[in-house]
Amino acid sequence: MARPESEPKTALAARLRALRKAIGDPDRDEVASKIGVGKSTLASYERGESEPSASALAAYKNVFGANVLWIVSGEGEMFADPAHGPAPNRQMDPELLEIMYKNIEMVHRAANLKTPPHKLAVLAAEMYNELLGRVVDVRDKAIVNAVIPVLGDELEERVKEAMRKPGTGKRSAS
């Protein structure tokens, strides 16, 4: 059983602890690994015994979308961009969601599936979430445009596989 965490000694330490909790309260070793420091170093930051280096602050920004000004001073919002941070703070990009929808619609049409629009919308949201899991910054259009076809190909393979299996409800309309 892990020892209980001691109270932060500084406001900076309290903000770092709050940030870890806001991203789902992962174990310190997981966060430390992602920002490139040791678990004991992260614990030292969160207790207020030491302060993060510039490279650690940059990693908080790049990995978690944290607002470095907020970390250092408490000014502004915890996350620099609502597209980053914990899921409740993420805002969906409607144009990107539309691209996902059209991709799914195209795959289903090519497979001769008569999928109701509301089901396509659910699948589009799932594909969008899959994209968020693979892309650090959805504003990076070059990366997003490279990943979308991969997601489409994977969907096409899943549909083909489902159509080969009897009883899946995904058979061609004849």
Say yes or no: 40 and 70 in one domain: yes
Mean pLDDT of 142-171: 83
* Domain containing residue 75: CATH number: 1.10.260.40
pLDDT in tens, 55-82: 999 999 888 888 999 999 999 888 876 5
pLDDT at res. 172: 42
pLDDT in tens, 38-60: 999 999 999 999 999 999 999 99
Say yes or no: 24 and 59 in one domain: yes
Q: Given 88, 119, 144, which residue is the final one in a domain?
A: 88
Distance CA 110, CA 123 (A): 16
Distance CA 150, CA 98 (A): 17
Distance CA 146, CA 148 (A): 6
Mean pLDDT of 103-112: 92
Q: Is the confidence at residue 31, as pLDDT, over 60?
A: yes
Contact call for residues 71 and 123 (beta carbons, < 8 A): no
pLDDT at res. 2: 58
SS3 assignment, position 148: helix
Say yes or no: 114 and 144 in one domain: yes
pTM over 0.75: no
Mean pLDDT of 119-125: 91
Say yes or no: 69 and 105 in one domain: no
